[in-house]
Amino acid sequence: MPETPLVSIRDVANHAGVSVGTVSNVLNRPDIVASATRARVLAAITELGFVPNDAARQLRRGRGRTLGLVVLDVANPFFTDVAKGVEDTTGAAGMAVIFCNSDGDLTKENAYLDLLEEQRVQGVLITPIDDASARLHRLRDRGVRVVLLDRRSPEAGVCSVSVDDRLGGELAMRHLVESGHRRIAFVGGPHRLEQVRDRYDGALQALTGAGLGEDNLRRYETPALTVAAGRDAAARILGQPRRTRATAVFCANDLLALGTLQVLTRQHIRVPDDIALVGYDDIDFAAAAAVPLTSVRQPRQRLGQTAAGLLLEEANRPETHRHQQVVFEPELVVRESSQRILTEG
């Protein structure tokens, strides 16, 4: 297959009998060129099948038309919903998203950040694995705009869009405590993820708020926030002697909860009668689970839209842009997995 020699702006110019500058003007500021010429150039463009080369434009302009989105796990519907939000906003602005999956692996995260930097993206939306402030600062210093996603920025110099994870943990735990549970398991990890820590801290706070203590909450750390990790954690919980075993489980996300639920069901542990279960994120599948899952809902799509919006604003109006930390509030959605079914009462 012979590489077809691509047609450039120069070919278009020749074909239309104008200069290259004029063709460029037709493309970028059509209003300043006389309508007759404009029509002629446009005709030449379609006739030759000209497609502008974004690399050349980018080289000249300094930055490209893409932005990077770095998430912890593509397979997690939470992130795909966020991605959808991002895409809503960028698509409307004619920009493209380079989608990167760090998979919770610092090496991959760094590799992708390098790559995005080489692409001279407009900016990066990232849910970092750890605080990584050094790395992110370096990015910023090189002119790459950064917006933290699902993570609150500790400093004023960076935009961030997040959900109040402490509050979310608090809501979940308060609900369990009010349902009478006193031996509760927290499933989540790795601990270096801020979301996990915050949700745990929130849970603890609800506990002490109710006059209970740290010994009412047993923590099961997982290596990742996945269904498989949830299954493992459930096995560990069930390894406890029945009399001291937790009567309720709060999982740091829905995937963990679904994994946990699978194991419980398979072992004929009744949910919620024997063990109550609460997840986090309220992904669409939570409601469709074996036992519909109580979960803490986050505005996933809005998270993405807002983050992309902040980035675009920073890119397009740097002079008026003020960095801001947007924090959404989560909401507890109670379903069957955490409350006795009424018909049985």
Partner DNA sequence: GCGAGTTTATGAAACGTTTCACATAGTCGC
Partner DNA sequence: GCGACTATGTGAAACGTTTCATAAACTCGC
What is the binding site for a second copy (CB under 8 A)?
A: 1, 3-4, 6, 49, 51-56, 58-59, 62, 64-66, 74-75, 77, 80-81, 83-84, 87, 91, 94, 96-101, 108, 111-112, 114-120, 138, 140-143, 227, 258-259, 261-262, 284-285, 287-292, 318
Q: Which residue, 60 or 242, is less far from DNA as judged by CB?
A: 60
Q: Which residue, 118 or 215, is less far from a second copy as judged by CB?
A: 118
| Chosen from DNA, a second copy, none, partner binding at 345 (C-beta under 5 to 8 Å by type) | none
Structure tokens of 328?
């959404």
- CB of 136 vs DNA, minimal distance in Å: 22
CA dihedral 176, 333, 75, 137 (to 10 degrees): -80
- CB of 53 vs DNA, minimal distance in Å: 3
**91 backbone dihedrals φ, ψ, rounded to 5°:** -55, -45
| Chosen from DNA, a second copy, none, partner binding at 18 (C-beta under 5 to 8 Å by type) | DNA
Q: How far apart are CA 167 and CA 201, in angstroms?
A: 9
- CB of 65 vs DNA, minimal distance in Å: 11
Q: Which residue, 56 or 327, is less far from a second copy as judged by CB?
A: 56
Structure tokens of 265?
């069901």
Instruction: Give Cβ neighbours of residue 160 (< 8 Å, ≥ 6 apart).
Output: 147, 148, 149, 151, 152, 153, 325, 326
Longest dimension (CA), the chain: 88
Q: Which stretch binds DNA (CB under 7 A): 5-13, 154-162, 278-286, 321-329?
A: 5-13
Q: How far apart are CA 73 and CA 88, in angstroms?
A: 20
Q: Which residue, 95 or 171, is less far from a second copy as judged by CB?
A: 95
Per the rule left: phi > 0, alpha: psi between -120 and 50, beta: everything else, 211 is left
Q: Which residue, 77 or 205, is less far from a second copy as judged by CB?
A: 77
Instruction: Give Cβ neighbours of residue 255 (< 8 Å, ≥ 6 apart).
Output: 76, 225, 226, 227, 229, 230, 283
Q: Which residue, 51 or 235, is less far from a second copy as judged by CB?
A: 51
Q: How far apart are CA 41 and CA 31, in angstroms?
A: 13
Residue 283, SS3? Answer: coil
- CB of 122 vs DNA, minimal distance in Å: 15
| Chosen from a second copy, DNA, none, partner binding at 101 (C-beta under 5 to 8 Å by type) | a second copy
Q: Which residue, 167 or 283, is less far from a second copy as judged by CB?
A: 283
Candidates 8, 80, 119, 247; binder of DNA (CB under 7 A) is: 8
Looking at the DSSP assignment, which residues form a beta bridge with residue 280?
296
| Chosen from a second copy, DNA, none, partner binding at 138 (C-beta under 5 to 8 Å by type) | a second copy
Residue 215, SS3? Answer: helix
Looking only at residues 18 through 77 of this chain, which bind DNA when binding is defined by CB under 7 A?
Answer: 18-25, 27-28, 32-34, 36-38, 50-53, 56-57, 59-61
Q: How far apart are CA 227 and CA 23, in angstroms?
A: 55
- CB of 59 vs DNA, minimal distance in Å: 4
The residue to which tokens 């790395």 are assigned: 135
| Chosen from a second copy, DNA, none, partner binding at 50 (C-beta under 5 to 8 Å by type) | DNA
Residue 332, SS3? Answer: strand
- CB of 140 vs DNA, minimal distance in Å: 18
Give the binding-site size for DNA (rule: CB under 7 A).
30
| Chosen from DNA, a second copy, none, partner binding at 100 (C-beta under 5 to 8 Å by type) | a second copy
Q: How far apart are CA 293 and CA 195, in angstroms?
A: 20
Question: CB 210: neighbour CB atoms within 10 A?
Answer: 15
The rounded Cα 232 to chain-centroid distance in angstroms is 25
Residues near DNA (CB under 7 A): 6, 8-10, 17-25, 27-28, 32-34, 36-38, 50-53, 56-57, 59-61
